Chains A and B, each alone.
Chain A
Amino acid sequence: MSSPLRIAVADDEPELRRYFTIVLPRLGYEVVAVAENGRELLEQCLVTRPDLIITDYNMPEMDGLEATREIARTFAVAVMLVTGYDDRLSPKAGEAEHVHAQVTKPFKMAQLAASITLATERFADQQAGLPVGPRSTTFPGGECLPREFHVNRMAKDQFNRT
């Protein structure tokens, strides 16, 4: 009904750039910018003003985290970070305020779709001043699990039999 989500992508791997341009339209999204590094991403985004940025973290010239931080200073945008790092070992990148979802390589189309939804929902919550829901993480072997799976601080447990 509404116009499709406008997405900017950045990856230094040509296969991934091609992948995004083929797959994202099939998922119903519009690709408005394709960049090879952070600097290109920054330049293109300032012109195209996408709704969502999907960017690789590790890129030449300017990394994805820095580029999106710059962009987020100019206008509000949902950000999804793609990393080769395990977020259990290097958690810092994915926990940046302006990052709404993180996906660890290698991901599949289904995870990509789920992460896009998560990023846009969390972004919307953030914009509306609502409490922002949990992040996601990927399990080795494929499926996407909500982060709440491993962060559970519930004070009372319905199964607790004390």
Chain B
Amino acid sequence: MMNTLTPPADSLYVLLIEDDADTQANLADIVDLDGHYLKAYGTFSQAVADADWQAVSTVILDWKLPDGSASEFLPRLHKLAPHAPVVIVTGFPDLDGAIEALRSGAYDYILKPVNADILRATLGRIARQQRTEAALRRSEQQRHLLAEAVHNLAEGVIITDAQLDPPGPHILFVNEAVTRITGYEAEELIGNSPRILQGPATDGKILHRLKETLARGDTFTAELINYRKGGTPYHVEVLISPVRNPQGQITHYVAAHRDITQLKQAQEKSMQAARLAAIGQMVTGLAHESRNALQRSQACLEMLALELGDDRKDLLDLVERVQRAQNDLHRLYEEVRDYAAPRLLRREVCDIAQVCRSTWSHLKQLYEPKQIRLVEQLEASSHYCYADAFAVGQVIRNILENAIAASPSGGEIRMMTRDATLERGPALEIIIADQGEGIPAEARPRVFEPFFTTKTKGTGLGMAIAKRIVEEHGGLIEIGDTDGPGVAFHVKLPREEP
């Protein structure tokens, strides 16, 4: 007999409850033949008190025991060791009872005198069955673990069949992340081809390479532009590997999708910043050099005008035209530089209402001929901001210049202020609304792009500069509607130091 509590694999911990000593000894010998471990008790109550019920893998139960019958004990056994099958040992006269026991959940019965082969076969069957069940349980646990892990991966996982040609491959599985990335529900994707995610900007050459690589049985990796449900493009890094059956045939493909849109945007932003910095340096140099040249030209023009005197009006007219062209050129240089050059903000506590008024008063030459009035509605609790007043003045000036240019003669421009908030704290909002013809909705997002203009005059840099200055302050500039047809520019400036 084995004397260890942990039976070797495939052997059973057999609990024998049998009051007849001969039968007990006989059964012990048979059980021992196959290396099963046996623990024997003479009564049910002894077994209940003493046995290690957790470890018991099979119970052999005598039909008639001194302290009761198997039919009474069966339900209790099911409670004590639900996982252990019960084999009833019974004499022929009790066969009916044994069959009834089978109905109430016994695994099998064996007639006395016990035939060794039959008992061994029964125990062998139980051992195999328990091994299979354990394996199933383990595999179920593992399947559950894998499914949970795949489901909760931050990366999207798509499993398709192996049919590369249309209408395949068919999506068989998507995890949670795929629905999050693509905006499709799993049910919308399953059965479809991953082509549902592709669109006009998806690189056809990459897709071609993808198919070739997969057809060869290799792993494919690339960056693609895919489309979410509703058509928004996103950048995705895909890694697709073939899945083979034990015979080595490809049965599925598994694809990992990583949404790298934000990463791409960050990269583009930093590249854009680097490009702007390089352009900025160049333009600063250019503007500086141009100032010297412009100054020489300016000096010569003024000397020429003085030489010509009032009696050569025809020539003075030409001088005047050259002067205007030079002014335009100068302004263009300065604005390009303003837009592209690094700006050193000199921030201090300043009164934005004062800046707005002062800026308006300096635009007299523009608003007076058109008889445009400024209507103030200053409703903010305070007009102090931590800002570069000169730069903010430039923002207000650029907006006002556009507003004046857009306004009809005799019109009014409204300048409003109110308290607002930005993500990082309290802000002052300045709204400048005109009564012009407005800007069509489709053109509005482009208003802040450099060299966008709806006017015949101007460089088209004014609003791009304004946006840059406002954003360098950590603020926000937007374009909105008014009560009438005109537009309203909203500038939000943070009140505090960042």
| Interface bin, chain B | 35 or more
CB distance from A138 to the nearest CB of B (A): 10
A137 to B367, CA, bound (A): 23
Known: A16-B295, A109-B302, A161-B378. A143 touches B362 (CB 8 A): yes
Q: Which residue of B lies closest to A146 (CB)?
A: B358
Please determine whether A149 and B389 come into contact, CB atoms closer than 8 angstroms. Answer: yes
Which residues does chain A contribute within 8 Å of B247, judged by CB atoms?
Answer: none
CB distance from A100 to the nearest CB of B (A): 20
Known: A140-B334, A149-B390. A26 touches B306 (CB 8 A): yes
Please determine whether A159 and B383 come into contact, CB atoms closer than 8 angstroms. Answer: yes
* B331 interface residue per 8 A CB criterion: yes
A160 to B357, CA, bound (A): 13
A157 to B380, CA, bound (A): 13
A161 to B377, CA, bound (A): 11
Which residues does chain B contribute within 8 Å of A160, judged by CB atoms?
Answer: 351, 353, 382-384
* B99 interface residue per 8 A CB criterion: no
* B26 interface residue per 8 A CB criterion: no
- Chain B interface mostly helix, strand, loop or mixed? helix
Contact string against A for B residues 359-385, beta-carbon threshold 8 Å, 1 for contact and 0 otherwise:
000100000000000000011111110
Please determine whether B306 and A13 come into contact, CB atoms closer than 8 angstroms. Answer: no
Which residues does chain A contribute within 8 Å of B354, judged by CB atoms?
Answer: 152, 154, 157, 159
CB distance from A115 to the nearest CB of B (A): 14
Contact string against A for B residues 2-20, beta-carbon threshold 8 Å, 1 for contact and 0 otherwise:
0000000000000000000
* B344 interface residue per 8 A CB criterion: yes
* A76 interface residue per 8 A CB criterion: no
Cross-interface CB contact of A140 among B295, B335, B348, cutoff 8 Å: B335
Q: Which residue of A lies closest to B323 (CB)?
A: A108
CB distance from B497 to the nearest CB of A (A): 15
Interface residues of B in 278-300 (CB under 8 A from A): 284, 287-289, 291-292, 294-300
Please determine whether A159 and B353 come into contact, CB atoms closer than 8 angstroms. Answer: yes
* B349 interface residue per 8 A CB criterion: yes
Stretch at the interface among A17-25, A47-55, A128-136: A17-25
* B258 interface residue per 8 A CB criterion: no
CB distance from B461 to the nearest CB of A (A): 11
* A73 interface residue per 8 A CB criterion: no
CB distance from A114 to the nearest CB of B (A): 14
Please determine whether B298 and A107 come into contact, CB atoms closer than 8 angstroms. Answer: yes
Q: Which residue of A lies closest to B296 (CB)?
A: A15
Which residues does chain A contribute within 8 Å of B299, judged by CB atoms?
Answer: 15-16, 18-19
A98 to B440, CA, bound (A): 54
Known: A88-B344, A151-B389. A141 touches B349 (CB 8 A): no
* A142 interface residue per 8 A CB criterion: yes
* A44 interface residue per 8 A CB criterion: no
Please determine whether A89 and B344 come into contact, CB atoms closer than 8 angstroms. Answer: yes
* B355 interface residue per 8 A CB criterion: yes
A109 to B348, CA, bound (A): 33
Please determine whether A19 and B390 come into contact, CB atoms closer than 8 angstroms. Answer: no
**Extra inter-chain contacts (5) besides given A89-B341, A142-B327, A152-B389, CB under 8 Å:** A105-B291, A109-B302, A140-B335, A159-B354, A159-B357
**Which B residues form the contact surface with A (CB < 8 A)?**
284, 287-289, 291-292, 294-300, 302-303, 306, 327, 330-331, 334-335, 337-338, 341-344, 346, 348-351, 353-355, 357-358, 362, 378-384, 388-390, 393
**Which A residues form the contact surface with B (CB < 8 A)?**
13, 15-16, 18-19, 22-23, 26, 84-86, 88-89, 104-109, 137, 139-143, 145, 149-154, 157, 159-162
Which 6 pairs from chain A and chain B are nearest by CB?
Answer: A140-B334, A150-B390, A19-B299, A105-B295, A106-B294, A106-B295
Residue pairs across A and B with Cβ atoms less than 8 A apart, 10 shown, are A19-B303, A107-B295, A108-B298, A139-B362, A140-B331, A150-B355, A152-B351, A160-B384, A161-B378, A161-B381
